[in-house]
Structure 1
């Protein structure tokens, strides 16, 4: 085949360092817009970004040219630096080291989009820790809980 044809929908989840509540409703829209620009710059357009005070979800189309790990690394580095410019209340902002990422079937894109859109409502009923464990188990990802949270 003379060209590379790829369409990988990826659901990425990561939290603030120590799951500190930094992403308040005042900054979230601007932060999510900034992350959307980063995704576009790395040829991985975001379809939906959402989250709560201590974590975010990104649904994007992963570029055929950039590894997932590199995309997440770039998003975290640039957005962390950007957050620190937004006021003294964000000067100690950091993302956690790790992340979770899940492939999304094309038929599930609308469901995942709505799920991400409604994170603040969702987390009135379910804790982030329970959400992550549920996603890991749903996708049959082996994990050691000790390393998921430390």
Structure 2
């Protein structure tokens, strides 16, 4: 799946630097082509990968991504740190849940949110 998501990014002219995650979420760090908006990039990666996953059959026919997503720009000086973070997702999430980590990230950056709309 991670390789397929990287291929989706590449087909949109966005260079995948690292793709990884765990059962309940994925992370992609990519470049962003000058010809595509972030929302369009996410929409297309979700659309194409949903079709690919559902074609696998069985219980996967029920697969869908949640409607929301998080997107963050990364300074060039921090790319290697983010790549390591993505590579270490299984170990990392044994210590802190994705939901708790995301809430803390939002808090740290002064963002407000409504729990009713963050998780679907």
Normalised by the length of structure 2, the TM-score is 0.93
- Root mean square deviation, CA, Å: 1.2
Normalised by the length of structure 1, the TM-score is 0.75
* Structure 2 counterparts to residues 1-150 of structure 1, below 5 A: 31-150=1-120
Q: Which moved more, 1:140-149 or 1:91-100?
A: 140-149
Structure 2 regions of 5+ residues with no counterpart?
A: none
Q: Looking at secondary structure, tell me which structure has more strand per residue.
A: 1
Q: Deviation string for 1:76-132 (max 9, x for gaps)?
A: 000011001223131111000010101111111011100011111111111110111
Q: Looking at secondary structure, tell me which structure has more helix per residue.
A: 2
Contact 2:66 2:119 in 1 (8 A): no
Contact 1:102 1:139 in 2 (8 A): no
Structure 1 regions of 5+ residues with no counterpart?
A: 1-30
Q: Deviation string for 1:26-70 (max 9, x for gaps)?
A: xxxxx1111111101111111011111111011011111100000
Match in the other structure for 1:3 = none
